[in-house]
Amino acid sequence: MLSIFLVRPGCTDFDEQKRIKGSLDIPLSPTGADEVRRVVDDLSGRRLDGIYCSPCLSAVQTATALATGRDTKVKSLDRLRNLDHGLWHGKLIEEMRVGQPKVYRQWQDHPETIRPPEGETLSEAEARISKAFRKIFRKHRSGAVAVVIGDPLASLAARMLTQTDLGDLWKSECDHGSWELLEVESRQKALTR
């Protein structure tokens, strides 16, 4: 069995403004740095055999803080970059709700049917992160690893690994500075959807 600590990076200025960050490369805000300190404290007594992260700055900063004082290096994987929201990047979530109510509702109810303009679909993102997790599973058959990725990709990864519901991706876009433990027994079963 492999324990995966799925860590959401601390917040950025875009998160605080409730903007769609997606795959943009934005540093932690002061509030985000405080959130990261809490996550590091929460996980300080946990053994981690590996720390993997998205290449975005807030995820790298979070993973680096998590690795401090441990005999574990951070490995940034491009396949763990957050969902590409294309032309939605930088827009306020409220702006989407008011200006494009049908698209907003469709993303809420059936996100698998949406491709943001010049962005990627959930199925494309899932295929990409599935390859990243297969790489992690080949290296770590048991033990514990941390995977630091932002939402909505973190929610997509949790669904893929645990076969649970995806939830509200508009809400998850604002989730940050937290962690959850996923126990994965069967690597093959976890990655087949």
Burial of 35 (0-12, 13-18, 19+ CB in 10 A): buried
Would you say the pTM of this structure is higher than 0.85? yes
Q: The domain 2-190 is classified under which CATH number: 3.20.20.60, 3.30.565.10, 3.40.50.1240, 2.60.40.10?
A: 3.40.50.1240
Instruction: List the pLDDT tens digit at each of the 193 positions of the chain.
Output: 999 999 999 999 999 999 988 888 999 999 999 999 999 999 999 999 999 999 999 999 999 999 999 999 999 999 999 999 999 898 998 998 899 999 888 888 888 898 999 999 989 999 999 999 999 999 999 999 999 999 889 988 988 888 776 665 656 566 789 999 999 875 444 454 4
Burial 57-66 (b: 16+ CB within 10 A, else e): ebbbbbbbbb
Looking at residue 189, what is its pLDDT?
Answer: 44
